[in-house]
Structure 1
Amino acid sequence: MHALRTLSMFALATALAAPAFAQDQTPRATTAETVTDGDIIVTARRRSESLIEVPVAVTAITGDTLEAQGAPDITALQRQTPNLTLQVARGSNSTLIAFIRGVGQQDPLWGFEPGVGLYIDDVYVARPQGAVLDIFDIERVEILRGPQGTLYGRNTIGGAVKYVTRRLGNELGGSVRATYGSYNQIDLVGSLNIPMGDSFAIGGAVAWLQRDGYGQNLTTGAEHYDKDVLAGRISAEFTPGDDIFVRIAADRTEDRSNPRHGSRILGNLGLPDFEPTDSVYDTRAGIGDDNKVVTQGISLTGEFGLNDVLTLKSVTAYRDGSSDTLIDFDNTPGPVLDVPAYYKDWQFTQEVQLLVEAERFQGVLGAFYLDGKASGAFDTVLGLANLTTLTSGTVKTESIAVFGDFSYSLTDQLKLSAGLRWTKDDKRGSVYRQNFTGIRSPEFGNPDAIPGLLRSDYTNSASFEKFTPRVAISYQPNSDLNLYASWGRGFKSGGFDMRGDAILTPTTVNGYQPETIDSWELGLKGAFLDRTLFLNIAGFYSDYKDQQVTVQVPDQFGGIASFVDNAGKAVIYGLEVEMRAVPTDNLQFTAMFGYTSADYKEFLTFIQGGTVPVDVADQRVFQNTPEFVANVSATWSADLAGGRLSVTPAVALRAEQAMFEIPTPLLDQPATVLVDASVNWVSGDDRFSIGVHGRNLTDERYRVGGYNFPGALFGNSVIGYYGPPRTVAVTAGVRF
């Protein structure tokens, strides 16, 4: 095994990191020929630019390349992007956990703001539910690292992930892709584009994604870690001239996969039902198998060229979502520690941009508005005490912002960029929390439950206002080299803890404050040796203040206490390297390396309802932030049977990482090495393709999340959630 890992580590990431240097329209088989014709075009600064020109650390990966890798969803980006964590949330199938450079948000409860912004075609997605996007109808994904507060707003303090779909164009065409793989995986994806004259087209795509579970619920017999997703998108585009583009688009995703209950790590008194299962993918959860997550939205985008210099752009969107889910924390047939829950949210956004594209002056001036509401409820059932705590609440958010970001060429080689954003958030939060005697509350089907202690019942409002500036200077001695330095500030809005217990933590009624980060970055982007070597390097240093940390711990009254701390001060610094070498037309090598040092300098917390904050910085670590990440790959390509064959072995390494700020040796994940490989053949006319994709070929077992509720009353509920085992899939596609 060690020899295999060492050999594989020698050879990773063309199918992984190469897309960062690829063209915008890379064919499905990523080869040395197809990626050296030019630079990928990105919209990291809200306007189209060559990746080399942008003084921001950006990894951009085309949808065709992700398909060629057999990437199941956007969490695959974690293996090929420096200092990025993208994972499916614990107890979930489609909720996203995102961290960049140590900054993110693990708690997906309604009302909490993410630290990494997610965008679908310039539409901000405020909630993480349903955000584990599958790979279909996609042109590229851009991962912007570091605070993006000037251009993208209040909750991009760690960075942003932009999901860019394909434009329709004016040619009749479409595609069909079918996949069969391990665990009876069956994926069917189709798209169709129909022009209706020279200036109007309609199109759409649909994906039906099915898979049996990696494990089984040994109590109910249901699949565990299965997949059952139906997703679709339809759009219409109107382009009466070169200066006008209008698109209306609608999408819907419905996930009926069974709930993930995790797997026990601790046993309890030798009782069979309380012991870990033989497989980490099995569970003995008895709460049930009902789960449904629906997300949908509609958007209207218009671009109007006013003259050769100015373009007006408008993005109007509405999105909503709902989740009905179950989490069995104890993983036993009985209701020792069960949580039935539901979430609902909606959002309306409007953004207006004025784009400037002059000879020496470029930029964007804009305004943004968001009106949204997130609500939900859940029971915390302690069956051994015959006690249930109902928690419910609502957060209403109204946000406005005005921003500008401009670049000016001081000389042909030297360019200065600066930006500023003003944001104001108004929030109104309501929290209700009450004890009941009985298994479940009336809200979740037990009308006979006896009301007990009212723990929280309050409504409060708060406003948060912030300026987030950015400045950068870049020097381009030629078109293939850019040296830059930048400083920027980001902020994440404050709010109210929807689990807040006014008895255990009386200060919860006041809410928590925003967090801020100041980040300095030095970078190099370039193509060398006649464009046979491509290199991106970025070093960063961040001053992180008032970080919002959610803590859930057993309390002295037999319940679970939750509170949000503004942790104080932290320093984060690191290095990121992306490299691709193309020694011949048939061979290329790619490597990625990321290093992050994250250290708390002050961590103030209120312990067990105390009113005096205590500094516990020496007892806390950053979660979901491995010190090192790396990958390496090689792609060999050759002409075969009238097409092009590509073979790519790949290896990704992640150092050990903590699941929570409080180190938990039972849960924290040791260093992980994952080995992948893909073989793709594409016909010479790019119409037909077939691929074989193996992921996690060494069949590693690695945790991506967990919960920690030890103690007899909680049934020693220390549980882990695991990444996929070894899988192999065959994909065939036709374009017409």
Structure 2
Amino acid sequence: MAEKIRVAPLSGRYTFDEALNTLLRNTGLSGGLVRDGVVRISPIEADKGEDPVSPKAKATLLSGASAFIVGAFSAPSYAQDAEDPAVRDVVVVTAQRREQDLQDVPLSVSSFSGDDLEDIGAADLTEVGKFSPNVTLEVSRGTNSTLSAFIRGVGQQDPVGGFEAGVGIYLDDVYLNRPQGAVLDIFDVERIEVLRGPQGTLYGRNTIGGAVKYVTRGLDANPAMKLTVNAGNYSRLDGILSASTPIGENFRIGASVAKLTRGGYGDNLFLNGVENYNKDVSAARIQAEWDISDVMDIRVSADWLLDKSDPKQGHRLIRSLQTGAPVLSDVYDTRAGLMNPDQRSEAYGGSIVGTWDFSDNWTVKNILAYREDKSTTPIDFDSLPAIDVDVPAIYENDQFSEELQFLYSSDNLNGLIGVYYLDANALTYFDVVLATTGAIIGVPGLNAQTFGDVNTKTWSVFADFTYDISPDLHLSVGGRYTDDKRQAGILRRTFSGGYSPLFGGTAVPISTTSNFNGSDRFTDFSPRVSLAWDAAPDHNVYATYAKGFKGGGFDPRGQTSAAPDVDRDGVREPNEIFDFMQFEPETVNSYEVGWKALWENGRFTTNLAAFWMDYSDVQVPSSIGVDTNGDGINDTFTGATTNAAAATLKGIEFDGTAVLGENWITQGDELSTVVSVGYIDAQYDQFIGPTGVDVASQRVFQNTPELTSSWRVNYTSPFTLVNTPGDITLVNSLSYRSESSQFETPNALLDQEAFTLWDMSLIFRSDEGWTVGVHGKNLGDERYKVAGYNFVSINPTTGVVTPTLGREGTLTAFYGDPRTWWVSISQDF
């Protein structure tokens, strides 16, 4: 096997000489354009000593460089002939756990490069949801760092431990088991991939809606440093510094640090000095890469995040029912009363990824990772000064994972065999202080506390291979067997005296409403079959069947005293309590057909997919008020999660790009566009309500707009700023979402009407390594809801509002960002 030489990947815009010099830097080789398009590459003569590059390595590099240059010169060039079509940039993704051209992947996938994310001014992971069809990514209620993710109608917005995600989030191939800390801020990112549809075979449990992959940038082969500063309205000020350097020929180390701050979009009008929707985040990342040999390398990385933003509180949508406090005019203001308004979320982890090419066809890859996070999040559900439905919460999560892959590659067969193991623990503590309710029923400082401890041990074996039946016909077959064990301890107690000692109070317990310990094991086999046909050059037609499943478990808010006496013998027996607390896994069987095409030598791309999904045993979590003493006032609540629903989801997705013009206004300019459209028809076929009646016709899918679309227009042109040549890029984008519901039961006040967001960026990238940009988000200043709480019942005939927990009526909403703008300046050193 020929020796390898690692060279820095070329990204961006280069002249021919710049590209060639960058490619050959520190290789012991030099090159240049001689005549008539002929390129000469030769060894650099050293003054003394041995040539630092071996003959085999030179041959390998000469061959690779020649292929690169021949490809560059054989491609049509608009600089030479304005009539010739441009050759597209190949978008590389790892949706099938190996590097492939996006156009060859028989899946519905959106990919965003680091440059794309910079162009659209993306600040965190949620931004890609605006530009991906049938995808919703939002910051969860009450925090800046907890993620709520839905793809094709499947997801989970409840962050409490015990409920599993429906969309898998991956940081450098490491699955993030909990949503806390999953709103990943964007810096040092190579790309983000959004995989739509169940990914059970290659990615495992909890990816029945899809997966989002956050891939960080590898280290440069040469010393590098970059400083970025952002400053904008609402006192936004960010600083990001990244640096890397080689140490010797085979070892590289790098680090990044970031401080991201912003004033609040609103204020807490009751607590002086506490802002609402502000941001105070610190983050760091460090990594090292070691090429142990020509066929073996290892990457070690670690990351850390600390969010000390003020707690985000909701906007009341109705007047308070007891005091008559009016609805505030500014949706970002609040009157929330909190005993302790300190919010803190810290997450950290690391991974070791090693690869070994132990033969011409086989590579072994090992991914070893550990992560941990802890969040303290105080939330006032009713957003009023009185202490009623005040919920300070603590989330503590840790996970250890190990994945071993054996990847095979040959002329007509490619794939992998793997094993995966996860050991994770999720602790949840929260008080629900109902002081106003307690005063009415004679329990001063009534507090319904919940403690949940959920341990997960899961292992799986999987395989997936693609066989080229012919040069134009490709068959993929795969499957994964999963063994998923869940243990849960749930303790719920009633306190008197306000906040418990866990949250700085002095309340004392007066009764226990739930003391449950249970375990269960769930198994699943998720297959995948796909047939792809290259119907014509640059046209890929495919049909895919895939299955996915989301793990079962135990309702962390479940109250054993609320378990029904099924056999009516006057005793709640252990099996009746177990059945009430436990819920089964849910599954999706998906059928997808697609057509991916390139037109005019890559000038246009059109990727179209149609899907039909059979969604079974849908988990429906809910929290309902409970009247424990029969006086007509709900003095506590219980969780009630059942596999009460079945549904059918079908839809269409389109991603397209087009180069609309080159050398349009000036020599070297380009006008291009990116379009996405998603349509989904999500209908419950069955939905058994609390009374045992099928209410499917009265239920809708939450966070699932019927129509999503985006349109982005980019114009890039050579430009000179302050006597420095470079390129200037204007990006104009629109994203549209039709009306959607926050919960399965529609609520006219809480649900979101259709809206459109307008963003714009103007960026100058100099040839000397510095960049300046001006960005604007939500320029139309839309007010749109992204989450909420609902603990009221509204009579559809009279409009009378009745609280179901607390006395003031909890119907609150959380909103997306208002109009923001900022200036970004960066310098590469």
What TM-score results when the alignment is normalised by the length of structure 1?
0.93
What does residue 494 of structure 2 align with?
435
**Which of the pair has more CA radius of gyration?**
2
What stretches of structure 1 of length at least 5 have no aligned partner?
A: 1-23, 608-612
Look up the SS of the partner of 1:332 in the other structure. coil
What is the alpha-carbon distance in structure 1 between the residues aligned to residue 178 and residue 559 of structure 2? 23
What does residue 577 of structure 1 align with?
654
Look up the SS of the partner of 1:79 in the other structure. helix
Look up the SS of the partner of 1:98 in the other structure. strand
Question: Could you tell me the percent identity over the aligned residues?
Answer: 42
What is the alpha-carbon distance in structure 2 between the residues aligned to residue 118 and residue 147 of structure 1? 13
Look up the SS of the partner of 2:697 in the other structure. helix
Name the amino acid aligned to 2:531: I
Look up the SS of the partner of 1:77 in the other structure. helix
Measured against aligned partners, the alpha-carbon deviations of 1:78-137 in whole angstroms (never above 9, x if no partner) come to 110000000000112110000000000111111211000011111111000010000001
Look up the SS of the partner of 2:285 in the other structure. strand
Report 1:483-494 matches (<5 A): 483-494=541-552
What is the alpha-carbon distance in structure 2 between the residues aligned to residue 103 and residue 430 of structure 1? 27
CA contact (8 A) 2:420 2:461 kept: yes
Name the amino acid aligned to 2:311: P
Measured against aligned partners, the alpha-carbon deviations of 1:297-352 in whole angstroms (never above 9, x if no partner) come to 01110000011110000000000000111000111112021001101011000000
1:725 aligns with 2:796: no
Question: 1:508, CA displacement in angstroms?
Answer: 5.9
Question: 1:25, CA displacement in angstroms?
Answer: 6.2
What is the alpha-carbon distance in structure 1 between the residues aligned to residue 719 and residue 354 of structure 2? 44
CA contact (8 A) 1:28 1:64 kept: no
- From the superposition, tell whether residues 27 and 554 of structure 1 become closer, same or farther in structure 2 (CA, over 3 Å): farther
CA contact (8 A) 1:25 1:62 kept: no
What is the alpha-carbon distance in structure 1 between the residues aligned to residue 715 and residue 782 of structure 2? 26
1:292 aligns with 2:344: yes
Higher relative contact order (Cα pairs below 8 Å, separated by 6+ residues): 1
CA contact (8 A) 2:624 2:640 kept: no
Question: 1:664, CA displacement in angstroms?
Answer: 1.2
What does residue 118 of structure 2 align with?
67
The 10-residue stretch of structure 1 (86-95 or 547-556) with the greater mean CA deviation from structure 2: 547-556
1:416 aligns with 2:416: no
1:634 aligns with 2:713: yes
What stretches of structure 2 of length at least 5 have no aligned partner?
A: 1-8, 15-77, 80-84, 439-445, 565-575, 629-633, 663-669, 793-801
Report 1:3-22 matches (<5 A): none
Find the partner of 1:670 among 753, 759, 767: 753
Look up the SS of the partner of 1:384 in the other structure. helix
Question: 1:582, CA displacement in angstroms?
Answer: 0.5
1:283 aligns with 2:360: no
What is the alpha-carbon distance in structure 1 between the residues aligned to residue 89 and residue 504 of structure 2? 60
CA contact (8 A) 1:346 1:373 kept: yes
What is the alpha-carbon distance in structure 2 between the residues aligned to residue 391 and residue 265 of structure 1? 27
1:643 aligns with 2:701: no
What is the alpha-carbon distance in structure 2 between the residues aligned to residue 299 and residue 369 of structure 1? 14
Look up the SS of the partner of 2:185 in the other structure. coil
Name the amino acid aligned to 2:437: A
Find the partner of 2:684 among 594, 597, 600: 600
What is the alpha-carbon distance in structure 1 between the residues aligned to residue 271 and residue 771 of structure 2? 41
What is the alpha-carbon distance in structure 2 between the residues aligned to residue 236 and residue 26 of structure 1? 21
What TM-score results when the alignment is normalised by the length of structure 2?
0.83
Question: 1:555, CA displacement in angstroms?
Answer: 2.9
1:253 aligns with 2:305: yes
What is the alpha-carbon distance in structure 2 between the residues aligned to residue 402 and residue 702 of structure 1? 43
What does residue 652 of structure 1 align with?
735
Find the partner of 2:610 among 520, 539, 551: 539
Report 1:86-235 matches (<5 A): 86-221=137-272, 222-235=274-287
What does residue 373 of structure 2 align with?
321
Measured against aligned partners, the alpha-carbon deviations of 1:629-653 in whole angstroms (never above 9, x if no partner) come to 0111212222110111111211111
Look up the SS of the partner of 1:300 in the other structure. strand
What is the alpha-carbon distance in structure 2 between the residues aligned to residue 166 and residue 289 of structure 1? 37
Question: 1:439, CA displacement in angstroms?
Answer: 1.4
CA contact (8 A) 2:86 2:602 kept: no
Find the partner of 2:586 among 511, 515, 521: 515
Name the amino acid aligned to 2:765: V
Report 1:491-502 matches (<5 A): 491-502=549-560
Question: 1:378, CA displacement in angstroms?
Answer: 0.4
Aligned residues: 703
1:564 aligns with 2:648: no
What is the alpha-carbon distance in structure 2 between the residues aligned to residue 28 and residue 436 of structure 1? 65
Q: CA RMSD in A?
A: 1.8
CA contact (8 A) 1:336 1:383 kept: yes
CA contact (8 A) 1:418 1:471 kept: yes
Find the partner of 1:354 among 398, 402, 406: 406
What is the alpha-carbon distance in structure 2 between the residues aligned to residue 416 and residue 289 of structure 1? 57
Report 1:52-63 matches (<5 A): 52-63=103-114
CA contact (8 A) 1:375 1:395 kept: yes
Measured against aligned partners, the alpha-carbon deviations of 1:250-285 in whole angstroms (never above 9, x if no partner) come to 11000001111111111025846x322221000111
Find the partner of 1:341 among 364, 375, 393: 393
Measured against aligned partners, the alpha-carbon deviations of 1:581-639 in whole angstroms (never above 9, x if no partner) come to 112122112211100110000112434xxxxx332212211000000001112122221
CA contact (8 A) 2:119 2:731 kept: no
Report 1:18-33 matches (<5 A): 27=12
Look up the SS of the partner of 1:410 in the other structure. strand
Look up the SS of the partner of 2:578 in the other structure. helix
What is the alpha-carbon distance in structure 1 between the residues aligned to residue 323 and residue 11 of structure 2? 56
- From the superposition, tell whether residues 35 and 404 of structure 1 become closer, same or farther in structure 2 (CA, over 3 Å): farther
1:588 aligns with 2:672: yes
What is the alpha-carbon distance in structure 1 between the residues aligned to residue 764 and residue 536 of structure 2? 36
What is the alpha-carbon distance in structure 1 between the residues aligned to residue 689 and residue 321 of structure 2? 34
Measured against aligned partners, the alpha-carbon deviations of 1:375-419 in whole angstroms (never above 9, x if no partner) come to 121011111123110100101110000000000000000000010
What does residue 51 of structure 1 align with?
102
What is the alpha-carbon distance in structure 2 between the residues aligned to residue 666 and residue 104 of structure 1? 23
Look up the SS of the partner of 1:66 in the other structure. helix
